[in-house]
Amino acid sequence: MAPHVAGFASELERLRYTASPVKKHCYLVARLSGWLDELGLGVDVVATPLVEPFFVARRAAGVANLRTRASLKPLIGHLEAIGVLTVPGPPAPTSDAERLLAAFGTYLSDERSLVAGTVRFYAYVAGLLVEERTMAGGLPMSGLTAGDVTGFTTRVCEGRGLSSCRQVVSALRSFLRFLVLEGVTVLALEDAVLAVAGWDPQLPRAIGAGDVTRLLANCDRKSLLGRRDYAIVLLLSRLGLRGGEVVAMELGDIDWRAGELIVRGKGRRRDRLPVPADVGDALAAYLQGGRPASDSRRLFLRSIAPFTGFADTGALRGVLKRACARADMVYVSPHRLRHTTATELLRSGAALGEIGHVLRHRSSVTTAVYAKVDLDRLRHLARPWPAVAA
């Protein structure tokens, strides 16, 4: 590893790591190099599970930082960039079942444009069905019957909550439609998937306008991190964006002249929303005095090196956890702020169609759930309970 240490250190500095992390990473490389030499292993091992014993020993020795394989991500990226290391991709499917599931995953991501998390869950449910057929003596998928589908749905949903069961049903129907498209089955068996019986009596869980004000007021807009967090919370609460939509935003998505914002929504949709004045001011303040210099085109970046975009919505939830802690509030998720946007629009007199346009719902049925929130108007529709004769 010795020939690569200097170049690795320079790359970390280019990525704007400070002196202390650069020193720690270089020390890690030195210790790792000695471990590889001692066991007679090559550089290619650093990108494989074979390096895990090195980190087990570090944790056992009480090392306080860089204790897991994830610590090697910057090093692996550098070695890959200079051509020293080729990171192997996922193994190619070897069986008919693996090839079918791989094709299903490609179909979901490329043709259905589903997000990665949904693709993983749908593929997981499909894998359970394929595994069940395999364990039952290698029964072919072409022989699938309505009874098989109904029985599988019942078994998989046992013990799950209402929401989880509905996700399973959606995944299974998608897989069955895919089997027909691929010619694996002739019968369209999606109708054999039982609908989930249940009713969710809860109202959309919005928070009050006062709580939103507290969240925003406790973002320190004098600090770089505070400007970023303030802009994020404002986007979530004022425009009702989904967490993934905020994570995916890029610099070119803001049309400053038109005062509009391009939102990268579900199914690769591109919607344009007007930017309220306070949201525009917050974004401008972050870009001018809060966003680190970076080659990344993502709008919101990590606060520590490397200054790249958020990996997923987990980082966004972290932003809200810190904001809620500062405001001395119970944690509020990004989706609750989306509910808050819809609820406040309804209370201010907006029609359900207008709310659906802001939230970019494809169906008016989805927006109709917010009708339950307007209790004052619902009172005019409620009929008195019939009197019971004594």
| DSSP string for 185-210 | -SS--GGGSPPPP----PPP----HH
Residues 170 and 36 in one domain: no
Phi-psi region of 113 (alpha: psi -120 to 50; beta: other; left: phi over 0): left
Q: Is pLDDT at 174 greater than 60 in this prediction?
A: yes
Instruction: Name the domain boundary from 49, 81, 113.
Output: 81
Provide the domain limits for residue 129. Answer: 96-192
Instruction: Note whether residue 357 is domain-resident.
Output: yes
Q: Is pLDDT at 376 greater than 70 in this prediction?
A: no
Q: What is the number of domains present in the chain?
A: 3
Banded model confidence at residue 169, pLDDT cuts 50, 70, 90: very high
Instruction: Note whether residue 89 is domain-resident.
Output: no
Greatest alpha-carbon pair distance for the chain in Å reads 95
The region of weakest confidence among 35-44, 152-161, 343-352 is 343-352
Residues 101 and 74 in one domain: no
Q: What percent of the chain has pLDDT over 70?
A: 93
Q: Is pLDDT at 249 greater than 80 in this prediction?
A: yes
Q: At what angle do helices 19-39 and 73-81 cross, to 10 degrees?
A: 80
What does the mean pLDDT of the chain come to? 88
Residues 65 and 103 in one domain: no
Q: What is the mean pLDDT of residues 252-266?
A: 92
Residues 228 and 346 in one domain: yes
Residues 112 and 35 in one domain: no
Determine the pLDDT at residue 381.
Answer: 57
Instruction: Note whether residue 279 is domain-resident.
Output: yes
Q: How far apart are CA 189 and CA 92, in angstroms?
A: 29
Determine the pLDDT at residue 201.
Answer: 57
Residues 184 and 215 in one domain: no
Residues 164 and 229 in one domain: no
Are the beta carbons of 97 and 134 closer than 8 angstroms?
yes
The region of weakest confidence among 101-105, 228-232, 347-351 is 347-351
Instruction: Name the domain boundary from 192, 221, 254.
Output: 192
Residues with a known catalytic role: 242, 266, 335, 338, 361, 370
Residues 130 and 187 in one domain: yes
Instruction: Note whether residue 318 is domain-resident.
Output: yes
Residues 267 and 351 in one domain: yes
Q: What is the mean pLDDT of residues 136-164?
A: 87
Instruction: Note whether residue 201 is domain-resident.
Output: no
Q: How far apart are CA 267 and CA 83, in angstroms?
A: 36
Determine the pLDDT at residue 58.
Answer: 93
Residues 341 and 218 in one domain: yes
Instruction: Note whether residue 382 is domain-resident.
Output: no
Q: Look at 374 and 339; give whichever has higher pLDDT.
A: 339
Residues 108 and 178 in one domain: yes
CATH code of the domain covering residue 304: 1.10.443.10
Banded model confidence at residue 349, pLDDT cuts 50, 70, 90: confident
Q: If we measure between CA atoms, which residue out of 260, 228, 263, 226 comes closest to residue 246?
A: 263
